[in-house]
Chains A and B, each alone.
Chain A
């Protein structure tokens, strides 16, 4: 079986998780991951409860949830983000979700949300 090519994580469990992703969703997942890590190079990746890739520093910032034909990015401090692009959904007291369904998603918006999340790390 042909193995998937991707930038290896420093975390073995993340690599195992990516290798097991469904082939249909993997390209979108890797594109989003590339965009998040380019905007937030200081993020560490980990897998929480076997299903969610989490980007964090000393605290969790973004959780990636893979669904059928879509990927949701949950920004744990989403309510504090300046949503210039109007892509964040949710009405909870803290978190906001960005849903991505295709490879032509708004990368500029995602990079902006990621950078804002990192700024709140202090």
Chain B
């Protein structure tokens, strides 16, 4: 099985973190399973060749993704099954992107979209088509961004009532701030748990008292969101998301 992954810089002013292309080739047609855990990114997917079946165990759904689709924020894990040969283009989109996305935003779903209106031959042409579409169709929903940095609330929200803010967050992202924070906590753990530079990997050493009181608390929260224990997750393969996650971490730390 031959897997390639290419990446191109995005346009932060449009909320695009980066563009990517993944191909999977095998000698004969095959199915490849992949895990997808919750992340604080939206992903636009354009399936040029092959199919992707999505299994949503929590929603008890199994369906094939359409050719072009926007993956919204999820609070639980998904399982993808790719048929090979697969050629998949994508754009990783930040929370900022959705604040100018004209359609209604819901969580735990995929939105049928058609941003690529002519054939994308390569990653460069996919990038050009997606950027063109987003430039033409963006509409700011709020006067200012909801977050100043990370998940830190912007100053202009300070005098709003908690109820008003809840409604703003849900309208903007499809999730409450607490649900966004839970996903953030999961990734904060993953990021620090994998900083092996000074010591051996021992998950217990990476439990953050501010977020998870102890290892059982971490295990419970982790399993609830990913369906796996931390150790199972570290050993499991997730072809697409591994690449997307590491590229996202690097993009963010490079800023």
Contacts and interface: CB of A to CB of B under 8 A. Distances in A.
Interface of A: 10-13, 16-17, 42, 44, 46-52, 54, 56-60, 65-68, 72, 74, 76, 94-95, 97
B237 A58 contact: yes
Nearest to A89: B200
A52 B4 CA distance: 18
A44 B191 CA distance: 22
Contacts of B158: none
A42 B200 CA distance: 28
Given A13-B5, A56-B237, A49 B194 contact: yes
Interface stretch (B66-74, B162-170, B176-184, B243-251): B243-251
B237 A59 contact: yes
Contacts of B197: 51, 66-68
Contacts of A56: 237
B2 A44 contact: yes
Contacts of A67: 196-198
Interface residues of B, number: 31
B5 A46 contact: yes
- The list of the 10 closest CB pairs from A to B, nearest first, reads A49-B194, A47-B246, A10-B4, A50-B249, A44-B3, A65-B196, A11-B5, A12-B7, A59-B237, A60-B237
B124 to A, nearest CB: 13
A57 B243 CA distance: 14
B195 interface: yes
A54 B239 CA distance: 11
Contacts of B249: 49-50
Contact of A11 (B4, B190, B194): B4
Contacts of B4: 10-11
B2 A10 contact: yes
A68 to B, nearest CB: 7
Nearest to B3: A44
Contacts of A52: 194, 196
Interface in B201-255: 201, 235-237, 239, 242-243, 245-247, 249-250, 253
B3 A94 contact: no
B208 to A, nearest CB: 16
